[in-house]
């Protein structure tokens, strides 16, 4: 019975989609209002850097095919969990641009999509269910799966699209035709290109079961098989075509990826959905208990999907009659048992006997399919109870009250649990994290109290049973999200602050600094609040990287040859070596090459041998080398099909070095060497996949019975986004040609101005003329290490400050505006900026540090701290500028410390490193750190000081700070 025409209940059905969307935005209000960031787990460690890199590739006029910055370089296009082939990521990457804010808006969007899909899946599998399918959509969208797995972004994508795939497949099975086949193919391609393939592997067996069931039903009737088989063939063919890039990547990477060979049972059984976590179905706050108590990771233990729906699941299981729903319920029950991992033999049996189910970890993922099956069955139970209400009202009321009492008794076993611990940066975040588990559980049960009161006093409150039930389930879902999102979904920082840190880093590829790769390590030292895959933001090639996608050669170095790995960490991105050993020879300190590689009889290095970088992009490394003898030139990028080497423009075969890196033999003399990752097939695959996707959407739009115009406009808009994203950007090389034309008038207008050139490469003298030019390379926001104080003071009264391809940081701006505050002329264009400045007196009001000068060493490592009470400042004076001059010896490691405290509590701590100082000890170097305090609370105390952490000595002078109103260029 569907209660139509009953006032508010009927309006729920009419406005169901809007209710689902608004419920998600309301439940996740900390993300909706941008007061908090999304979880600091894999979301910020993986998906934020990966999507940022994709945006940078597209905006630099390149396809996202190779990432040179993590894991010794790896093929992005072949990473099956990455977004390189996903239409949403590509459409937004080169237009809006991926970042911290967009990522959490996408999370909210996908959760809404999940709820809308579940509503339609329920209506198609059970028949029209009115407001109860809306209720199922709300329960699914606000379930513990999305709250718990917020950091597993590709799992969120799969969780959102899979109900739509089931909805489309049921339409195809019931009415096989070309249109339903194309509709199902669209959702299948979205899952294949953007989602977690674990869901595809498990869900394929559910789809096969539904297909077999439909074939069996047809065999007992008069309908033929041909329309169904033809539609299924069209579905498979179009799905493969639209996902051609993903299939090509899987085929190509198989020989180079250990994981495709399958995981051990021990690996596959890690992080299950354990027995204790089953209680989270009615007490979601238990998901925030100590992971050691629950027996799994916090992301895997939130099984909530509506405490009030559980009794209806039992009722629905008893009254189900449709074979399709029975199959769905059976599959959900099997997955529930499999989610327990090694607690039962079911998971091991599936791992051993079912193809594909040995390729993924985390049995907790099976629980998703229990939700997917359980919610429609529970809705079936609600429909049955709603019919019984008019006939057995008192009995149903008694059952409701007794069920509520039983759930209240469940609170007894949680009194001894400790609250989970977590970082506390924001008052409300801290307050909720500090609540004990019993208190949280009481909050969980408040909606149950509403159900009891509403059912008992419904006449006095003028409510129908349907009003009370719907409102109670809706409230319980909202409360469940509030109880758990602080634990696994939210981070305590402001997303705009995180994004500001990223925006301050170079947005285009630049020639890396020649330094040992062991110096390029992930961590929050240089990227506050972020600590994995950070070298990607900074543009520093590294062996570090957090990713389960690991090429065999790279994995071999890390796991089986740590000594050789340490040797390579001591070398820069490119280096020359004469120490080469044959395969199978005893390991000493050399580099391994294949035994069948022809080597010269003698290789003898010389102190005069040199190699330097001349160019760099995401897919190429240009070098100039000079040697006195035959030498092996090593490029520390992972060996993978597609790399080719050029020596003096002649193609040569690359050599496999240490089973992982690239090398090339260079003869004596001077040579230009180029390493290039080139796969001409990939652009073709991109256009096949994206073109077929847009073609299918166009066909579906123009043949739609309703909303034809809106769908056509949406498809055209998507096509426009993709076209601009993929074709509308120029490369850095093209930009440099444009910059030359823009710079020429400025040079002519100020012929006597000295030039400070902050750029990737040394400027061409033909562009600058004979004037005084100081070339520096300052790619990072707090790095002024190449500016010597003595040289800066020798500059004339007028300077022409140029930044080409590198950020115009707040530190750089403050340093020169302090000495040359008058701006005579300026020009800004993308990654190119020119300012003409004149020397004058600064108007900044500097406050000397309590200790302006000192020599810091291990015995006395701290400079006396300056203390700033924010309550005493104006509301606009919240930009902190710290400056000093330092002189370091070879062992010194200095940092500028900015602490935020509230009473005895340390709210935030940042240690800003003093970066690299070439020619240490030769001259004084400037230090300028600019930080925004606009989001700090008024009752906070800010402490600023310098700290020498190394074993050497650091001299400090002119240490001071000021507070200004300008909005900083860096956070």
In a domain, 782, yes or no: yes
Please choose, from the candidates 640, 667, 637, 638, the residue with its C-alpha nearest in 3D space to the C-alpha of residue 652: 667
Provide the token pair at 802.
């140029």
Total of domains in the chain: 4
Is residue 621 domain-shared with residue 558, that is, in the same domain?
yes
DSSP designation for 232:
H
Rounded CA separation 529/757 (Å): 31
Strand partners, 823: 837
Give the domain-ending residue among 661, 677, 693: 677
Q: Are residues 956 and 906 in the same domain?
A: yes
Enter the tokens of residue 433: 């994290």
Q: Which of 211, 196, 213 is nearest to 162 (CA)?
A: 196
Say what the pLDDT of residue 4 is.
Answer: 44
Cβ atoms 309, 473 nearer than 8 A: yes
Note whether 557 and 661 are same-domain residues.
yes
Do the beta carbons of residue 201 and residue 357 sit within 8 Å?
Answer: yes
Helix (H) or strand (E) holding 101: helix 100-126
Residues 560 and 664 reside in one and the same domain: yes
Torsion from C-alpha of 375, 379, 384, 385, nearest 10 degrees: 90
Tokens read off for 299: 């992301």
Q: Which residues of 230-242 are buried (b: 16+ CB within 10 A; e: fewer)?
A: ebbebbeebbbbb
Strand (E) or helix (H) holding 235: helix 226-242
Question: Does residue 863 fall inside a structural domain?
Answer: yes
Reduce the DSSP state of residue 298 to 3 states and report it.
helix
Residue 468 CB-density burial (10 A; 0-12 exposed, 13-18 middle, 19+ buried) = buried
- Cα 426–Cα 431–Cα 432 angle in degrees, nearest 5: 105
pLDDT band, residue 14 (cuts 50/70/90):
confident
Q: Can you tell me the distance from the alpha carbon of 33 to that of 10, in angstroms, rounded to the nearest whole number?
A: 30
Q: Is the pLDDT of residue 423 over 60?
A: no
Q: Which helix (H) or strand (E) holds 958?
A: strand 954-964
pLDDT per position as a tens digit, 759-802: 887 776 666 666 778 888 888 888 888 887 777 888 889 999 98
Indicate if 875 and 920 belong to the same structural domain.
Answer: yes
Question: At residue 898, what are phi and psi to the nearest 5 degrees?
Answer: -125, 110
Alpha-carbon distance of 348 to 341, in angstroms, equals 8
Q: What is the overall mean pLDDT for the chain?
A: 84
Domain presence at residue 518: no
Q: Do 791 and 863 lie in a common domain?
A: no
DSSP three-state, residue 110? helix
- Say which residue, 745 or 98, is predicted with more confidence: 98
Domain co-membership, 620 together with 668: yes
Q: What angle do CA 440, 443, 446 make, to 5 degrees?
A: 160
How high is the pLDDT of residue 589? 36
As a whole number, mean pLDDT of residues 212-237 equals: 90
Task: Give the length of the chain.
Answer: 971
**pLDDT of res. 600:** 55
Average the pLDDT over each of 25-29, 281-285, 614-618, 843-847 and give the range with the smallest value: 281-285
The reply to whether 672 and 558 lie within a common domain is: yes
Domain end call among 790, 818, 838: 838
Indicate if 882 and 948 belong to the same structural domain.
yes
Percent of the chain whose predicted confidence (pLDDT) is above 90: 46
Note whether residue 95 is domain-resident.
no
Q: What confidence score (pLDDT) does residue 932 get?
A: 87
Are the CB atoms for 317 and 377 separated by under 8 Å?
A: yes
Is pLDDT larger for residue 678 or for residue 288?
678
Q: 286-328: per-residue pLDDT in tens?
A: 888 888 888 888 889 999 988 788 888 888 888 888 889 999 9
Phi first, then psi, for residue 766 (nearest 5°) are -65, -20
| Beta strand 574-577 pairing with 866-869 | unpaired
Do both 862 and 947 map to the same domain? yes
Q: Is residue 259 assigned to a domain?
A: no
pLDDT of residue 339: 95
Please, which residues bridge with residue 942 across strands?
Answer: 868, 900
| Strands lying side by side in the sheet with 661-666 | 574-577, 631-635, 661-666, 655-657
- 881 & 928 share domain: yes
State the DSSP H helix or E strand holding residue 910, giving kind and residue range, or none if neither. Answer: strand 905-913
Residue 915, phi-psi category: left (phi > 0), alpha (psi -120 to 50), beta (remainder): left
In the predicted model, is pLDDT for residue 881 greater than 50? yes
CB half-sphere exposure, 793, CA atoms < 13 A: 7
Question: Alpha-carbon dihedral of residues 950, 951, 954, 960, nearest 10 degrees?
Answer: 40
Which residue segment(s) compose the domain that 864 sits in? 847-964
How many whole angstroms separate alpha carbon 298 and alpha carbon 150? 11
Strand partners, 580: 591
Run of H or E including 585: none
Structure tokens at 355: 């193809």
- Helix (H/G/I), strand (E/B), else coil: 638: coil
Q: Rg of the chain's alpha carbons, rounded to an integer? A: 31
- From residue 88, alpha-carbon distances to 153, 188, 582 in Å are 13, 14, 48
Looking at the fold, whether 664 and 703 belong to one and the same domain comes out as: no
Amino acid 410: pLDDT: 47
Tell me the whole-structure pTM to 2 decimals: 0.90
Is position 264 within any domain?
no
CATH assignment at residue 906: 2.60.120.260
525-547 pLDDT, tens digit per residue, is 888 888 899 999 999 999 998 88
Q: So what's the pLDDT on residue 13?
A: 79
Give the pLDDT confidence score for residue 750 in this predicted structure: 86
The whole-number pLDDT of residue 934 equals 81
Average pLDDT over residues 508-519: 89
Q: Which tokens sit at 828?
A: 């800004």
Residues 641/78, Cβ–Cβ less than 8 Å: no
The string over 592-608, giving b where at least 16 C-beta atoms fall within 10 Å of a residue's C-beta and e elsewhere, is: bbeeeeeeeeebebeee
| Chain-centroid distance, C-alpha 557 | 26
- pLDDT at site 441: 62
Q: Would you give the distance in Å from CA 251 to the centre of its chain?
A: 25
Sort 383 into a burial class: Cβ within 10 Å, 0-12 / 13-18 / 19+. Answer: buried
In a domain, 760, yes or no: yes
The answer to whether residue 588 scores a pLDDT higher than 50 is: no
Task: Examine residue 593 and state whether it is found in any structural domain, yes or no.
Answer: yes
Q: Which of 670, 666, 616, 661 is nearest to 643 (CA)?
A: 661
Q: Which residues pair with 776 in a beta bridge?
A: 758
396, 469 contact by CB (below 8 A):
no
Q: What is the phi/psi pair of residue 870, to 5°?
A: -65, -25
Decide if pLDDT at 390 tops 70. Answer: no
Q: How many distinct helices (H) and strands (E) make up the chain?
A: 36, 29
Beta bridge partners of 181: none
Residue 951 DSSP label:
S
Most confident of 149-163, 267-281, 284-298, 448-462: 149-163
Q: Which two tokens stand for residue 92?
A: 């937004």
The two most distant CA atoms of the chain are separated, in Å, by 100
Residue 890 has phi, psi (to 5 degrees) of -65, -30
């Amino acid at each position: 019975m569907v209660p139509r025409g009953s006032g508010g209940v009927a309006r729920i059905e009419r406005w169901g989609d809007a209710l689902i969307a608004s419920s998600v935005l309301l439940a996740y209000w900390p993300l909706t209002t941008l007061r908090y960031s999304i979880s600091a787990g894999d979301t910020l460690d993986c998906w934020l850097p990966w999507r940022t890199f994709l945006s940078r590739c597209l905006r630099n006029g390149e396809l996202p095919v190779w990432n040179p910055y993590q894991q010794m370089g790896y093929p992005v296009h072949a990473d099956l969990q990455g977004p390189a082939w996903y239409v949403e990521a590509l459409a937004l990457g080169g237009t809006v641009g991926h970042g911290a804010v967009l990522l959490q808006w996408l999370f909210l969007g996908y959760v809404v999509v999940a709820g809308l899909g579940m509503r339609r899946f329920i209506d198609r599998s059970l028949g029209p269910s009115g407001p109860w399918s809306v209720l199922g959509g709300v329960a699914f969208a606000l379930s513990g799966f999305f709250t718990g797995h917020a950091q597993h972004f590709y799992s969120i994508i799969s969780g959102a699209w899979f109900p739509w795939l089931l909805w489309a497949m049921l339409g195809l099975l019931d009415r096989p035709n070309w249109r339903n086949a194309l509709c199902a193919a669209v959702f299948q391609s979205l899952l294949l290109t953007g989602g977690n393939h674990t869901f595809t592997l498990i869900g394929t067996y559910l789809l096969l079961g539904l297909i077999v069931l439909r074939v069996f039903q047809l065999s007992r009737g008069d309908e033929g098989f041909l329309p169904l088989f033809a539609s299924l063939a069209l579905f498979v063919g179009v799905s493969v075509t639209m996902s051609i890039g993903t299939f090509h990547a899987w085929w190509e990477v198989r020989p180079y990826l250990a994981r495709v060979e399958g995981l051990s049972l021990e690996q596959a059984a890690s992080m299950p959905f354990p027995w204790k976590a089953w209680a989270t179905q009615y007490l979601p706050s238990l998901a925030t208990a100590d992971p050691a108590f629950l027996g799994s990771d916090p992301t895997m233990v939130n099984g909530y999907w509506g405490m009030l729906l559980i009794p209806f699941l039992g009722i629905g299981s008893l009254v189900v009659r449709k074979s399709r729903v029975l199959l769905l319920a059976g599959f959900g029950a099997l997955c529930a048992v499999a989610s327990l991992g090694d607690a039962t033999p079911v998971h091991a049996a599936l791992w051993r006997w079912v193809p594909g189910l040995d390729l993924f970890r985390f049995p907790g993922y099976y629980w998703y399919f229990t939700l997917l099956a359980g919610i429609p069955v529970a809705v079936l139970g609600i429909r049955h109870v709603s019919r019984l209400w008019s006939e057995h009202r008192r009995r149903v009321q008694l059952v409701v009250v007794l069920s509520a009492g039983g759930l209240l008794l469940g609170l007894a076993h949680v009194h001894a649990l400790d609250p989970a611990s977590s970082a506390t940066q924001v008052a409300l975040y801290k307050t909720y994290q500090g609540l004990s588990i019993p208190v949280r559980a009481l909050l969980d049960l408040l909606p149950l109290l509403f159900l009891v009161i509403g059912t008992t006093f419904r006449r006095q409150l003028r409510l129908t049973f349907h009003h009370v039930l719907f409102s109670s389930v809706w409230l319980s879902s909202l409360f469940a999200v509030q109880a758990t999102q602080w634990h696994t979904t939210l981070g305590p920082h402001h997303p705009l602050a995180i994004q500001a840190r990223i925006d301050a880093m170079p947005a285009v590829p630049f020639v890396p600094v020649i330094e040992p790769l062991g110096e390029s390590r992930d961590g929050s030292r240089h990227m506050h609040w972020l600590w994995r895959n950070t070298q990607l933001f900074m543009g520093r090639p590294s062996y570090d990287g957090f990713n389960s996608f690991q090429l065999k050669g790279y994995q071999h170095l890390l796991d089986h040859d740590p000594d050789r790995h340490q040797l390579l960490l001591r070398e820069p991105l490119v280096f020359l070596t004469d120490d080469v050993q044959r395969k199978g020879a005893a390991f000493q300190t050399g580099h391994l090459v294949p035994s069948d590689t022809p080597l010269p009889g003698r290789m003898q290095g010389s102190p005069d041998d040199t190699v330097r970088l001349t160019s760099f992009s995401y897919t190429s490394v240009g070098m100039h080398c000079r040697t006195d003898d035959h030498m092996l030139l090593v490029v520390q990028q992972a060996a993978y099909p597609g790399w080719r080497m050029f020596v003096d423009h002649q193609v040569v075969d690359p050599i496999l070095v240490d089973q992982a890196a690239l090398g090339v033999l260079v003869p004596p003399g001077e040579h230009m060497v180029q390493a290039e990752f080139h796969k001409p097939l990939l652009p073709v695959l991109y256009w096949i996949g994206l073109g077929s996707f847009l073609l299918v959407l166009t066909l579906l739009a123009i043949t739609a019975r309703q909303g034809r115009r809106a769908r056509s406009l949406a498809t055209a808009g998507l096509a426009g986004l993709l076209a601009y994203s993929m074709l509308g950007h120029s490369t850095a090389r093209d930009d440099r040609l444009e910059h030359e034309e823009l710079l020429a008038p400025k040079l002519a207008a100020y012929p006597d101005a000295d030039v400070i050139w902050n750029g990737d490469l040394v400027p061409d003298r033909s562009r600058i003329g004979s004037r005084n030019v100081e070339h520096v390379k300052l790619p990072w926001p707090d790095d002024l290490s190449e500016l010597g104080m003595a040289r800066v003071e020798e500059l004339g009264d007028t300077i022409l400050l140029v930044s080409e391809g590198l950020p115009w940081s707040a530190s750089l701006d403050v340093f020169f505006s302090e000495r040359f505050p008058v701006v005579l002329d300026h020009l800004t264009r993308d990654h190119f900026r020119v300012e003409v400045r004149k020397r004058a007196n600064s108007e900044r009001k500097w406050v000397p540090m309590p200790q302006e000068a000192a020599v810091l060493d291990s015995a006395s490592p701290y400079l006396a701290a300056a203390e700033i009470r924010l309550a005493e400042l104006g509301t606009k004076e919240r930009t902190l500028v710290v400056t000093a001059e330092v002189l370091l010896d070879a062992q010194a490691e200095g940092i500028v410390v900015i602490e935020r405290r509230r009473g005895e509590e340390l709210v935030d701590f940042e240690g800003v490193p003093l970066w690299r100082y070439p020619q240490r000890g030769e001259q004084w170097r400037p230090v300028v750190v600019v930080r925004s305090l606009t989001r700090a609370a008024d009752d906070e105390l800010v402490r600023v000081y310098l700290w020498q952490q190394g074993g050497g000595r650091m001299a400090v002078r002119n240490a001071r700070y000021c507070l200004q109103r300008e909005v900083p260029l860096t956070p």
